[in-house]
């Protein structure tokens, strides 16, 4: 998970969005309040002021025009000609702002008979009062909101900090190495509050890690012990088969027993190698794959001859890799042996590419459902006519994952199966055509 998508980043983003929304709402509220004051309150106040003046003038024709610090009135009629400023003389009746004397006061013009009343209101002082008694408290409230939001954000980061540390610790744990698979959660436990959910989670994870590592160790120990124990009876069976073959004429049953013993020996060797490799990394060495394939083909030639199968080697290039030889030998041996067993008769091709090995047979092939099934342990393809426990491809897949090789299996019914082992670039030393 990237930093931009982390929990703390999302909390910060939510906090900033909250601050922006509060600020936008405040600005809109201030602007809306100003518009209401000007368009509604002041306008209505001037209209009421004009009505009051006309009523008073009806009772007293010499009624004085409004004249205060913020409101100034002019009357222009048959009997009274007040010195109306030039900027007001051309105005139409109604409510409007006018530029005059470097200011823009609010002007309300109203006609009554042949007389016209001008009311000029300078809201500058009112605005100052509104700022002091309205905007200043509003700013104070905003600051309190921002401060509480910041403290909430800071406390939230403190609360989720152990979760982030826990995720980082789990992310950096080398799960492929059983020796280092138990994450070190000491720093997370120190950050978490006692009896908190994080502390409970850390405790549960540590307990789970201990149980899991004990289970893995038991499995590895069992694999090592079983592999060693099974080698003894297989050696006895192989020795007696050699004596039997010297006394009795070769038969299909005897050859089948020999092939089964060889298969079991390959499986046991693979399991033992995996058990050792998980605790101790196997050393890599420079290999020419072409030479290795010639040697393996010679070893498998008796099996292929008994099955009526021919092994064909195709060399597109000289493939030079830096890998453990034992691992590669077991993988190729298992794949070629499977191809021989499932071909029935015909040709098994082993093609050496620039960075891969392709093994193809001319057997019955498999459907997509069969292909998916045989990649699981203890599953075998149909039509081989051979014994076995279906561990070959599962072990090959595990060995390829262990070594960083890509295993590709493709099959077409009635046309055969193709298995490709692709080496990563950092393991291919070089090749020539």
* Greater pLDDT, 343 or 134: 343
Task: Grade residue 433 by pLDDT with cuts at 50, 70 and 90.
Answer: very low
Predicted pLDDT of residue 353: 92
Considering the domain architecture, whether residues 289 and 431 belong to the same structural domain is answered as yes
Considering the domain architecture, whether residues 287 and 429 belong to the same structural domain is answered as yes
Predicted pLDDT of residue 182: 66
Predicted pLDDT of residue 278: 57
Considering the domain architecture, whether residues 10 and 84 belong to the same structural domain is answered as yes
164 domain-assigned: no
- Count the neighbouring beta carbons within 10 Å of the beta carbon of residue 106: 19
Q: Please determine, for residue 91, whether its predicted confidence score (pLDDT) is greater than 50.
A: yes
Write the pLDDT tens digit of every residue in 277-326.
Answer: 555 567 788 999 999 999 888 888 888 888 889 999 999 999 999 998 87
Write the pLDDT tens digit of every residue in 197-220.
Answer: 777 777 777 777 778 778 777 777
96 domain-assigned: yes
The residue among 135, 110, 105, 136 whose CA lies nearest residue 122 is 105
Predicted pLDDT of residue 421: 95
* Greater pLDDT, 117 or 154: 117
Considering the domain architecture, whether residues 25 and 104 belong to the same structural domain is answered as yes
How many whole angstroms separate alpha carbon 73 and alpha carbon 120?
A: 6
- Please classify residue 289 by burial: count the beta carbons closer than 10 Å to its beta carbon, then call 0-12 exposed, 13-18 middle and 19+ buried: buried
Number of structural domains (the chain) is: 3
Phi then psi for 356, rounded to 5 degrees?
-150, 165
How many whole angstroms separate alpha carbon 414 and alpha carbon 282?
A: 39
Considering the domain architecture, whether residues 272 and 289 belong to the same structural domain is answered as no
Share of the chain above pLDDT 90, in %: 11
165 domain-assigned: no
414 domain-assigned: yes
- Are 414 and 365 in contact, with CB atoms under 8 Å apart? yes
The pLDDT mean for the chain works out to: 77
- This model's pTM is above 0.75: no
Considering the domain architecture, whether residues 295 and 313 belong to the same structural domain is answered as yes
Predicted pLDDT of residue 428: 92
Range of the domain at 339: 283-433
Write the pLDDT tens digit of every residue in 15-66.
Answer: 888 888 887 887 787 777 766 666 677 788 888 888 888 888 888 877 778 8
How many whole angstroms separate alpha carbon 422 and alpha carbon 433?
A: 18
What are the tokens at 324?
């453990």
Write the pLDDT tens digit of every residue in 381-420.
Answer: 554 444 443 456 777 888 888 888 999 988 888 788 899 9
């Amino acid at each position: 998970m990237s930093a931009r998508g982390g929990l703390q980043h999302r909390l910060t983003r939510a906090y900033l969005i909250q601050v922006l929304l509060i600020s936008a709402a405040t600005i809109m509220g201030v602007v809306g309040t100003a518009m209401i004051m000007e368009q509604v309150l002041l306008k209505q106040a001037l209209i009421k002021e004009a009505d009051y003046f006309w009523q008073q003038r009806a009772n007293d024709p010499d009624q004085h025009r409004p004249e205060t610090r913020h409101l100034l009135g002019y009357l222009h009629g048959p009997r009274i000609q007040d010195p109306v400023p030039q900027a007001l003389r051309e105005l139409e009746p109604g409510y409007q702002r006018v530029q005059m004397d470097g200011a823009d006061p609010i002007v309300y013009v109203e006609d009554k008979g042949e007389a016209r009343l001008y009311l000029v209101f300078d809201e500058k002082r009112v605005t100052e009062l509104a700022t002091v008694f309205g905007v200043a408290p509003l700013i104070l409230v905003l600051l309190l909101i921002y401060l509480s939001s910041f403290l909430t954000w800071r406390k939230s980061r403190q609360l989720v900090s152990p979760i982030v540390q826990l995720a980082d610790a789990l992310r950096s744990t080398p799960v492929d190495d059983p020796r280092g698979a138990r994450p070190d959660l000491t720093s997370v436990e120190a950050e978490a509050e006692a009896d908190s959910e994080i502390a409970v989670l850390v405790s549960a994870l540590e307990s789970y890690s201990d149980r899991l590592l004990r289970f893995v160790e038991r499995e590895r120990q069992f694999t090592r012990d079983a592999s060693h124990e099974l080698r003894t009876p297989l050696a006895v069976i192989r020795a007696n088969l050699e004596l039997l073959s010297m006394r009795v004429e070769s038969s299909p049953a005897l050859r089948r027993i020999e092939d089964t013993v060889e298969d079991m020996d390959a499986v046991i060797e693979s399991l033992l190698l995996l058990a050792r490799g998980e605790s101790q990394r196997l050393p890599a060495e420079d290999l020419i794959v072409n030479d290795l394939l010639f040697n393996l083909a010679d070893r498998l030639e008796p099996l292929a001859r008994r099955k009526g199968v021919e092994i064909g080697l195709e060399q597109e290039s000289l493939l030079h890799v830096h890998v453990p030889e034992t691992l590669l030998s077991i993988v190729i041996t298992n794949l070629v042996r499977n191809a021989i067993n499932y071909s029935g008769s015909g040709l098994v091709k082993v093609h050496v590419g620039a960075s891969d090995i392709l093994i193809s047979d001319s057997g019955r092939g498999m459907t997509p459902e069969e292909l998916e099934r045989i990649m699981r342990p203890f599953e075998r393809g149909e039509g081989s006519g051979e014994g076995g426990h279906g561990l070959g491809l599962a072990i090959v897949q595990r060995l390829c994952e262990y070594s960083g090789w890509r295993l590709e299996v493709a099959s077409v019914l009635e046309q055969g199966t193709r298995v490709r082992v692709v080496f990563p670039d950092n393991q291919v030393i070089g090749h020539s055509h």
